[in-house]
Structure 1
Amino acid sequence: MTVDSSAKCFSSKTSPTLTREVLPELQRLLTLLLQKFQREWRADVHMDKVSLPRLKTMTWNLATQDSEVREPVAVINLKLQNDMQCPQESDLSFQLAKETLDTMLKSVYSIRDQLSNMGET
């Protein structure tokens, strides 16, 4: 049964007076439901909300790989903070060879330039 056919069925079996009496009661019941479950629904929305962690600190040092070539690499240590419900910190460490670091820096410079251009407009 579609909404239109339900409405026709309802309107054909009821008088206009009854319809006017039912609508305020429906409004009252909907208001009560919204008030009753508002906190719970807001908590659900908050829990489903996706939040990216933010960078708290960054340190780095140079290290030598354990291989025959022994090329130095940069070891990057990031401390990230998630600000969702209870602030949690997590540590992330990774190493980059010079070529990879150059590629990453070019990308970061491109991001910086785009952010600067957005600020000017």
Structure 2
Amino acid sequence: MLHPLVDPTKPRQGMMQAKSLVIQAIRRVELDPANDGLPPLVVIMAMVEEKSLFPLSQDEEVLLLLPPKDVWERQFLGRLPFHMPGSRPMRLDDALHWYEEHARWKALGLPVTLLTGALSPG
């Protein structure tokens, strides 16, 4: 979501803080009482820190798309070798860290709906 703001320059620090601010901005707009009755907003984000997302308001829901780890790892390793200009490709150890971080949300009892089906290309 933030890559167009920073590419094609080198990767910048503060991206996770910026994602947190984006979440706050979306909540400020979506949860304003003047917007009651409008159709729900769907926001798709990847690699979000727990502290930025939780706690949820009563009108929010988190759908966590997380296939079985072996399927996820096979899909990650099978990706085409592309990354955004100016950014570094994510390494497997970084990706595994994020997988484990998100997988533990359900174990912690955080209010997430876990979607475990494998994604198929195309």
For the aligned pair, the TM-score class normalised by the smaller chain equals under 0.3
Q: Which has the higher strand share?
A: 1
Larger relative CO (CA 8 A, sep 6+): 1 or 2?
A: 2
Return the TM-score normalized by structure 1: 0.24
Return the TM-score normalized by structure 2: 0.24
